[in-house]
Structure 1
């Protein structure tokens, strides 16, 4: 397996008002603003996006205003609504079991922000940030943890990127049941699978622009929602193979760091970028790579950066 390196960083941003979040966001803005669709680039479109955000996530409106003011860039507010972003399709695997959440995140290295963030926008949250304040996975101080995978279908509709919905659920919900109930009123732009864990329950839910939230058979997910999976999709993503593997292995970190769950670079350059093991009851998460790990917690969050090796030598 060809080796590649990627730098991850960890930052504390507080409630977003003291400049730490804005300094980080401005450093990424040039590459991020190109992901905004045409709708978000007009005053009329921006007004529609804000109205959609206000209607569905009113608790976060004050945070949106705070961050947009701090970022101070044209179209910042429209971008931060996450309601007009170009879709992306990460190929991931995840499982909730015994109060823990374990996941592999797979994408091209240059397309992943790679920022572990400790924030207190509405409450304490730690997670892997993407698109400036969305979350690929994370946990809150109530013991709720959530992660996402792409649902494997090309449907697209009016709604939010799943990243901001993970942020919203962690900012406003205490339990799996509360989060799943809230999901029923949140429009999502593309099909996604969410695995949710609290101290007493674990669940995977399929969501999409063309379907109501549907509880999966168990608290595992790869990159499909319905069967049959086409031969082409299975060849490209090995989604059924990975789902069988994680069901067999359970929440086993060692299994996540080996094939077929740990994925080498494919023809598009997508590969496993990190493994995250959330123990939300303890307020603790450990990120793993083949040769090292990095632990963070609400009680002891360490800012800094690490350059890690992805994959192993042939």
Structure 2
């Protein structure tokens, strides 16, 4: 089933001049439904203890948002867990990823910000990030780790924001993850000019670096057969491994099945493919049959792009 989706690009600066607040206010009715309101005090204490660098940003954004419960929402307190598909890989200093989720539950907003430093990424839930890069040449993306566990800790969206705001390198980000509890099982792929790795995190797991800089929806345990039937996790990981000889080869594979997923009504559709080149400060967002949407620190262009999703590049629908 083909769908037309609109993606938006916003330059929000440091969040103090109303641009971020206007966008966040418009998103409030939909985004607020993700928050349960539980554990607010504990979450805010944990934020102050483990992410003190972001406290001035939190205060600034909360003042601009000016909603009851807004500060707790920005701390991602009581956030309902979310689980998705996604595939990602790092090749030759380039981070490539497919984001697979239900079309109605993704904000589809690319944001250039300067909260603590310049960051560009796909924003979710006010200031969280699904993937992104910073001006130091670090890029990070997330994918569900495949285990339906949930516990105390930060939303992974907020963790990505923190890493890109405060870290210059993969090594610094890995050290930061050692002190940041994450509430759900997630795989993070990190890239800088000299290194790339995937690290597995979760509420019951110490950060674990894997043997390769690519990931689908698995961690240390074998992928259960039911999960494999629904998400094709092992199949997708094999496909991205096979293609990982160059960024162009990986991009081509991400735009066709089995990596490009088509069951949008079941929440398994690929909404976009991102190609981050952090050493150059550039990112391109891709869809089969559509021209790429290029953004960069040097030439970020606010605006919108409407694309057709639900089709693939030169391949039949496998479903």
**Which shows bigger deviation, 246-255 or 149-158?**
246-255
CA distance in 1: counterparts of 2:279 and 2:33, whole angstroms: 38
The correspondence for 1:233, drawn from 201, 224, 227, is 227
CA distance in 2: counterparts of 1:142 and 1:238, whole angstroms: 35
5+ unaligned residues in a row in structure 1: which ranges?
40-44
CA distance in 2: counterparts of 1:131 and 1:266, whole angstroms: 21
CA distance in 1: counterparts of 2:11 and 2:243, whole angstroms: 34
Which residue of structure 2 lines up, in the alignment, with residue 98 of structure 1? 92
Which residue of structure 2 lines up, in the alignment, with residue 46 of structure 1? 40
The correspondence for 1:115, drawn from 109, 115, 129, is 109
Q: CA deviation at 1:36?
A: 0.9
CA contact (8 A) 1:94 1:147 kept: yes
The correspondence for 1:183, drawn from 174, 177, 188, is 177
Which residue of structure 2 lines up, in the alignment, with residue 245 of structure 1? 239
Which residue of structure 2 lines up, in the alignment, with residue 291 of structure 1? 289
CA distance in 2: counterparts of 1:65 and 1:266, whole angstroms: 37
Q: CA deviation at 1:111?
A: 0.5
Which residue of structure 1 lines up, in the alignment, with residue 28 of structure 2? 29
The residue matched to 2:201 in structure 1 has which SS?
A: strand
The residue matched to 2:266 in structure 1 has which SS?
A: coil
CA distance in 1: counterparts of 2:258 and 2:221, whole angstroms: 20
Q: CA deviation at 1:104?
A: 0.3
* 1:193 lines up with 2:151 in the alignment: no
Task: String of CA shifts for 1:71-126, please: whole Å, max 9, x gaps.
Answer: 00010010111132001112000001111100000000011100000000000000
Task: String of CA shifts for 1:4-24, please: whole Å, max 9, x gaps.
Answer: 111100000000000000000
Q: How high is the TM-score relative to the length of structure 2? A: 0.94
Kindly report the root-mean-square deviation, in angstroms, between the aligned alpha carbons of the 2 structures: 1.1
Q: How high is the TM-score relative to the length of structure 1? A: 0.96
Which residue of structure 2 lines up, in the alignment, with residue 42 of structure 1? none
Query: Aligned in 2, Cα 1:267/1:27: closer, same or farther, shift over 3 Å?
Result: closer
The correspondence for 2:55, drawn from 56, 61, 84, is 61
CA contact (8 A) 2:198 2:212 kept: yes
Which residue of structure 2 lines up, in the alignment, with residue 306 of structure 1? 305
The residue matched to 1:38 in structure 2 has which SS?
A: coil
CA distance in 1: counterparts of 2:92 and 2:23, whole angstroms: 35
The residue matched to 2:44 in structure 1 has which SS?
A: helix
CA contact (8 A) 1:83 1:159 kept: no
The residue matched to 2:174 in structure 1 has which SS?
A: helix
Q: CA deviation at 1:267?
A: 5.8
Q: How many residues align?
A: 308
Q: CA deviation at 1:266?
A: 5.6
CA contact (8 A) 1:84 1:160 kept: no
CA distance in 1: counterparts of 2:17 and 2:225, whole angstroms: 51
CA contact (8 A) 2:54 2:162 kept: yes
* 1:216 lines up with 2:215 in the alignment: no
CA contact (8 A) 2:95 2:277 kept: yes
* 1:126 lines up with 2:125 in the alignment: no
